[in-house]
Amino acid sequence: MNSTWGRFLVVLAAWSLPCLIAWAAAGPVVALLIFATGLLLYSWWHYRHIAELRRWLQDPAPEAVPQGWGVWDEVFADLYRMLRRQSQSQSRLSATLQDFQQASAAMPDGMVILDASDRIEWCNPKAEEHLGLDRLRDTGQQITYLVRQPRFSEYLHAQNFGEPLVLRQSRGREFILSVQLVPYGDRQKLVISRDITDLERVETMRRDFIANVSHELRTPLTVLGGFLETISDIKAGDSALVRRSLPLMMDQARRMQRLVEDLLTLSRLESSNTPVREEPVNVPGLLRALYQDACALSAGRHRITLDLASEDWLSGSEDELRSAFTNLISNAVGYTPERGEITIGWRRGAGAAVFSVSDTGIGIEPHHIPRLTERFYRVDRSRSRETGGTGLGLAIVKHVLSRHKGRLEITSEPGRGSTFSAVFPAERVVSPRHENVMARSA
């Protein structure tokens, strides 16, 4: 027997004693009257506590639990403890939910929770960005009403949980999504979206790279194979054809060699395991040597000027800088018509050092300029074949400048020429060595 019933029996016994005494002294009528009065008071006492409990249930705050007496004190105390436990549990759940929302907001993937009828129950900010949703506005809406792509609707209805779906979205910028459907709970589904734009771009570049390398090698190999087949079939005495064929074969062999060398150079530059070799580079001296090379390459077809407005050196790799500068100069020579002008410059600007190559060549349309540093990208493929370029020169320039914390700036006007500028930060600039300055003054 618990304490509640024990207290009730104590109260009943305490009240029965006066009734028995009244029964013996004044008869049963008086005893029943006294018993009825006590029962009425006891009922009123319970009703008052019930009224307080009902009033409190309209706004059940833990700090406003009514005060009681006897069994009601225990009831109210139990209610208070229960509410405290519930409040603590609610606080823990709220903290857990907040942590989950913060973690999901930091995730690079989008997450959408759907119910059994494909209505949105919740989504994180990344899903709002990927799928154009609004968590507050779209909760309870059918997701197919908001993501209006037939392929997505078919994927959702097919419930193909094994394979992701690739979608192309255009919301401010075009991007590619990988969407995966994951079942859980009671017929609920989780839609996970991931931005794979960069991965697709890399995959496209890889496919284009393989296709371009194959194409670049196929032409000289076809030429070499044809000549070799022809030579193998001619008579031993026909040396004139051999003499005509050998220079062409050598030219194609050199073309393949340049391509392989540029591929190796680009591979080495892209390798993060190869740090930049830091050494003082005599840029004016290097440009004087490259100026002589440019004159030899031009063979008098252009007017080439060397403008050294600064004697500053750079800290970096001389071989890499030579490669970048050579590519820019040879491009200017190759794409400038005869009697055109080419200016090779080196100057100190505001907070930077600038190497530039300006020409009066054919120029470049504006829409081509952002893609010029892509591997094998050519504005005019037939013109590039004539110049003997590999299509990797500006890609090499871009990586060299990136490794030296520099950037490539291109300005061009079709029919009027172009200027390619390699801009190096001030921290890369070093003063000329003392012995070099002394030698020039002598």
Which residue has tokens 């618990």? 2
Q: Are the C-beta atoms of 298 and 304 separated by less than 8 Å?
A: yes
Structure tokens at 285: 């001296």
Give me the tens of pLDDT residue by residue for the chain, a chain 442 residues long: 456 556 666 666 666 667 677 677 777 777 777 777 777 877 787 778 788 878 877 777 777 777 776 777 777 788 878 888 887 888 888 777 777 777 777 777 888 989 888 899 888 888 888 888 888 888 889 898 888 888 888 888 887 777 888 888 776 667 888 888 888 877 888 888 888 887 877 777 666 666 666 666 777 777 777 777 777 666 655 567 667 777 777 777 777 777 777 777 777 776 656 677 889 999 999 999 999 999 998 989 999 999 999 999 999 999 889 999 999 999 899 889 989 999 999 999 888 999 999 999 888 888 888 888 877 777 665 554 555 566 778 888 998 898 889 999 999 988 889 999 999 999 999 888 644 433 343 3
CA 437/CA 442 separation, integer angstroms = 9
pTM exceeding the 0.95 threshold for the entire prediction: no
Measured in degrees and rounded to the nearest 5, phi and psi for residue 430 equal -125, 155
Hey, what CATH topology would domain 107-195 get?
Answer: Beta-Lactamase (3.30.450)
DSSP line for 70-94: THHHHHHHHHHHHHHHHHHHHHHHH
Distances (CA, A) of 36 to 24, 29, 224, 338, 408: 17, 11, 125, 128, 104
Q: Are the C-beta atoms of 409 and 423 separated by less than 8 Å?
A: yes
Cβ-based neighbours of 329, under 8 Å, separated by 6 or more: 290, 293, 294, 342, 344, 357
Q: Whose CA is closest to 280, among 430, 162, 164?
A: 430
Hey, what CATH topology would domain 279-441 get?
Answer: Heat Shock Protein 90 (3.30.565)
**Using alpha carbons only, how large is the chain's radius of gyration in Å?**
44
Distances (CA, A) of 12 to 17, 30, 40: 9, 18, 13
CATH code, 208-270: 1.10.287.130
